[in-house]
Amino acid sequence: MYVSRRAALVLLVGLLAAGTLVFALGASGSSRDGGNDGNGEALLRSTLAPSSPTDPSFHAIGPGGVAWSLSDSSVRLKTSGELDIRIEGLVITSLGTAGGVTTVSASLLCGADAQAGPTATTGTVPLSQAGDARIDARLGLPATCLAPIVVIHPNGGTARYIAVSAGSPEQWAACFAPPTHHFLHSPHRSLTNSG
């Protein structure tokens, strides 16, 4: 069977194009942080930073009384109000465990720091002694949220936080504000803590 060079070239280009298209479609559908899975687009994507007693207060919510360490985390808030937080290894630095903290909750803080208290708070979820927890909740979102911050509270209280959202400038630039919710992000988001 004879195949001309031109036919072979067309076939090769076609196969390469099809392969590229399949790869591109597969990659675009597997975004963990910002894809639209039918529950709204991501308004906020971040990581968490552990608190230290010398950290600042946010909206009259102070840091915990001991230093905390954190292995890994992710925070995602969607336009639907769906909040997904994954926490791994959030432990009291001096103990290497979560100590007496057995549950955590999360609060969304909006607006100027002069506004005391959270805009919305989740229920509590268990925190393992290894410092692992997952918060899946739906929050009622305000129409506007200037400089959003997510804080993690110990044992159901809202007066203290043991971790705070800490995204990079690139992560904050990736967030957007759809017409129904306006989330404006502050440049102070590069908050990091070491232990």
The pLDDT tens digits of the residues spanning 89-111 come to 999 999 999 999 999 999 999 88
Q: Do residue 19 and residue 110 come from a single domain?
A: no
Query: 194 in a domain, yes or no?
Result: no
Least confident of 29-38, 48-57, 116-125, 133-142: 29-38
As for how many domains the chain has, the answer is: 2
Residue 5's pLDDT band, with cuts at 50, 70 and 90, is low
Assigned domain for 123 exists: yes
In this structure, the answer to whether residues 45 and 106 fall within a common structural domain is: yes
Name the burial class of residue 9, with classes exposed (0-12), middle (13-18) and buried (19+) by CB atoms within 10 angstroms of its CB.
exposed
Shared-domain flag, residues 113 and 184? yes
Q: What is the mean pLDDT of residues 181-190?
A: 42
> Within this chain, do residues 79 and 149 fall inside the same structural domain, yes or no?
yes
Q: Are 53 and 134 within one domain? A: yes
Whether 195 maps to a domain, the answer reads: no
- Whether residue 88 has pLDDT greater than 70: yes
Are 16 and 90 part of one and the same domain?
no
Residues 80 and 174 in one domain: yes
Mean pLDDT across the chain = 75
In this prediction the pTM is 0.69
Let me know whether 19 and 55 are in one domain.
no
The pLDDT value recorded for residue 39 is 58
103 and 12, same domain (yes or no): no
Are the C-beta atoms of residues 177 and 184 closer than 8 Å to each other? yes
Percent of the chain surpassing pLDDT 70 = 64
Q: Which domain holds residue 112?
A: 40-189
Q: Identify whether 67 is part of a domain.
A: yes
Q: Looking at the structure, do residues 56 and 145 belong to the same domain, yes or no?
A: yes
161-195 burial by CB neighbour count: b if 16+ within 10 A, else e? Answer: bbbbbbbeeebbeebeeeeebebebeeebebebee
Q: What is the mean pLDDT of residues 36-64?
A: 86
Asked whether the predicted pLDDT for residue 23 surpasses 60, the reply is no
Q: Does residue 24 belong to any structural domain of this protein?
A: yes
